[in-house]
Structure 1
């Protein structure tokens, strides 16, 4: 699943479309997570004037309307030329003056929707802060983790707490600060929370700089792969030796997700008794 760095990288790679006019729109398969709007043809004649990201949503601002795009589990955008061969799972195409924007999604869990009061309220307004914003700081996270009994990894992957800290980046952040993924979030000291916030920001910035992580078939809209996967120290390395202490890394399942950790560097600590 594309995570925040991959979505940010995808958004940036779409910048060549800015100020281009929409010439036509083709819906080849409307059945995504939610149906592509039937009135999507009203984009024709409008210019794309801005692209933003909120969490893992790309917000596309046209002259008169705004759209909300989500890549889901397997979605991707690609900038193409008209004579480029269509692929089986190219479900949605916007033809601009100089490019075609094709949305490809084999599993069809993504979405192409209007950004309006309904989708804003349902999908955007309930989200936590952006992890790279000043709003996401140690004081804020401490207030959200207070008295929480769930594992720290589950807590920081909750989009109501903070957006965009997906499985890869949560695993790496916790490994680097020595916090067990199942450590009850409410047991963390303020010093641990400070270190965790700084590490989440550092990891995500690094991943964005490296174009995200290409673990299966991810690439941005111009076909460039990410390289952050080459720096991974814990994610996907269960059974391999810890780079710090040479203890075999272990794997446990938290919230239906694999969580790799070092039992030596990330011990599960018992809470202090009052």
Structure 2
């Protein structure tokens, strides 16, 4: 496995997309961020060198379906495309994978990890190595998404200003899921605050200690909550409840 070769192939793949598009650039930076997070998690687990490199390769390719989604729809909305399934499809049905890695010995692991990385939860993966890499990419994706939520303009993330987000309410169904320590079902999100809450609730679906330690040590819960001015009083009160509950949850792990 030659990661430098894979990176060059990825950069060549990006030539078909508009790097001036802020959403495209967001995903390019995110890709390399996830690659680094995958490396950190794998090394913390003291995995063999091959699995450390494989985790990084999966990180490099995990969102390859996003670029076509943005080219066609200029949207991250799941209703426009299942980007994970599409990514696995173009890599393996159209054999694009051979542009990034010549050997086929890791194909099933890569296909499973990428195809399932955005699932609500992991189910039905019986191969232990495939499951491990599916868990690594999901954690790495969430970890770099913390950075994304802190560095990217709210207008790009949600299509409105931070002030408009803070004026909206959290719907009862989304709050119920959060209180049950569950990730938010994407189709139940109705308001911009529902979306913002979902970015915190995915901390309930973390697989590895190193990921939780990074979330805690970087104070991601407080920082993400602090990005929005909660001018809706009820929303502000709920967010303080969420802050306390989530920080306690992470602290006790």
TM-score computed with the length of structure 2 as normaliser: 0.27
- Structure holding more helix per residue: 2
Q: Who wins on radius of gyration, i.e. which is larger?
A: 1
